[in-house]
Amino acid sequence: MTEIFAKTEVDRRTLLRRAAAVGMLATPAVGLLSACVGGGEDEPTTQSTGTKSADNPLGIDTKAGVEIVIFNGGLGTAYATDVDTPLFNKKWADAKITYSATEQISTVIQPRINAGSPPDMINNSGSNLMDFGAIVKAGQAADLTDLFAAPSWDVAGKTVAETLVPGAVQQGTYDGKPFAMNYSYTVFGLWYNKKLFEKNSWTIPTTWADFTALLDKIKAAGITPFGYAGANASYYMVRALLTSAAKIGTEQSLKDIDNLKPGAWTADPIKQAAQAWGEVGNKYINKTFLGLKHTEVQLQQDQDKVAFYPCGSWLENEQAKDTPAGFEYAVAAFPSVTAADKLPATAINAAAGEIYFAAAKGKNPQGGKEYLRAMLSKEAALGFTKLTKSLTVVAGASDGQTISPGLTSANDMLTKAGQDVFVGYLFDTWYKKLDDESRGAVNDLMFKGGDAQKFCDRMEAASQAVAKDSSITKFTRS
């Protein structure tokens, strides 16, 4: 019944988005909250350390135990107990891992941080996650610089950072230093049924002209060419539109939007993207979708009534129960809008989420970091992907593996994108009011006439209203 309560659904999707957002906040305002995690500051704790060596780059005490706490949610906990811990103990047999899992991270961990005895490695996730910006401000998260500079666990000749996807380290960086490891990875694109497309010999377009030509063909075949759910998932469409905008004008267009820069929404890339998508709305969308919820449209796609659906890589797992045998999820990058797009057609929007961090004031912070290093090995990442059907920030960890068709396709798309992967925008979690406005505006654009200028003007006005409102805490990014 979760789909009924549009807001209370704190599923993986929201969690990932939230976690990603928390990871990015450079947080001018959360200092207010830091008081509540500021305890234990002056306590001199005896922390375990060992001697650094090529085999032990972080210099852990090989006999000291490591305590970890995992969030027990959509991703489960089996990846920690069945993959990561055995892997860690294979190398460090004498370091005992004390494991526990909880659904209430904040309730369980915050008092322990305040008491000065936090666990060594914490998975800060779920609806009850701690404000990570506040934790960083209070000096409770260990600096992960040495972890990312250390040699990879199982990729010879590379540092940990070098094995990760672009932007992964940056997403956990606060004031220039990395404090969080964002482990899971969501890619966004146009989802379709590979079998249906093969049967009709429809090929995936890379230019807008090819895209609309294909939409015409699909329409002629009696299938709704493109759709999204207006009632509660119009933000999928916002993402599609802004991804196109970023392809036209690079990620800078989205950064301007996040920074509430005047004129950010009326800039050419946004206008061109709104124009192109507005036409798609005019010609190819089923107008009744305005009143449908995401599960209803997704079900229609599973029944081959909708061809393209803009979404993130959680889609396949979310629809697992409703996907019939003849249906094979695949994902494509959004096609280029103009010939002059600054990013190539293969460029995609992908974001890391799920924060893992080592506690700065725990008994064994180096041990916590070493556990993270184990998690960032190719072997552990593959295990995680197999168990959770989610990609990780470890680049190419599941290459050549057949886990599920959709995941393989997402992985291919990521490989093809190469360095042209961008984090996207954050205004939707920073300024909920603007997020709300964007949902209404995109619905109007797609379902009621496709007026790009109106979309841009409305969003620009809303953005400037937020900028002028002194009661709203502002964030910036670069």
Q: Which residues bind other proteins (CB under 8 A)?
A: 1, 4-7, 29, 32-33, 230-232, 234, 286-292, 296, 432-433, 436, 439-440, 443-444, 470-473
Q: Which is nearer to other proteins, 316 or 437 (CB)?
A: 437
CB of 88 vs other proteins, minimal distance in Å: 37
Secondary structure of the chain as H, E, C letters? CHHHCCCCCCCHHHHHHHHHHHHHCCCCCHHHHHHHHCCCCCCCCCCCCCCCCCCCCCCCCCCCCEEEEEECCCCCCHHHHHHHHHHHHHHCCCCCEEEEEECCHHHHHHHHHHCCCCCCEEEECCCCCCCHHHHHHCCCECCCHHHHHCECCCCCCCECHHHECCCCCHHHEECCEECCEEEEEEEEEEEEEHHHHHHCCCCCCCEHHHHHHHHHHHHHCCCEEECCCCCCCHHHHHHHHHHHHHHHHCCHHHHHHHCCCCCCCCCHHHHHHHHHHHHHHHHHCCHHHHHCCHHHHHHHHHCCCEEEEEEECCHHHHCHHHCCCCCCEEEECCCECCCCCCCCCCCEEEEEEEEEEEECCCCCHHHHHHHHHHHCCHHHHHHHHHHHCCEECECCCCCCCCCCHHHHHHHHHHHHHCCCEECCCCHHHHCHHHHHHHHHHHHHHHHCCCCHHHHHHHHHHHHHHHHHCCCCCCCCCC
Nearest approach in angstroms of CB 137 to other proteins is: 13
The least distance separating other proteins from the CB of residue 21, rounded to whole angstroms, comes to: 13
Q: Which is nearer to other proteins, 292 or 376 (CB)?
A: 292
**Residue 98 or 473 with smaller CB distance to other proteins:** 473
Q: Give least dist CB 299 to other proteins, A.
A: 10
Min CB(87)–other proteins separation in Å: 39
Report, in Å, the least distance between residue 9 CB and other proteins. 12
Nearer to other proteins, 290 or 387 (CB): 290
Nearer to other proteins, 204 or 233 (CB): 233
Closest approach of other proteins to the CB of residue 278, in Å = 16
**CB-wise, 387 or 465, nearer to other proteins?**
465
Q: CB 1 → other proteins: shortest distance, Å?
A: 8
Measured from the CB atom, is 123 or 298 closer to other proteins?
298
Our CB check for other proteins shows the closer of 29 and 320 to be 29
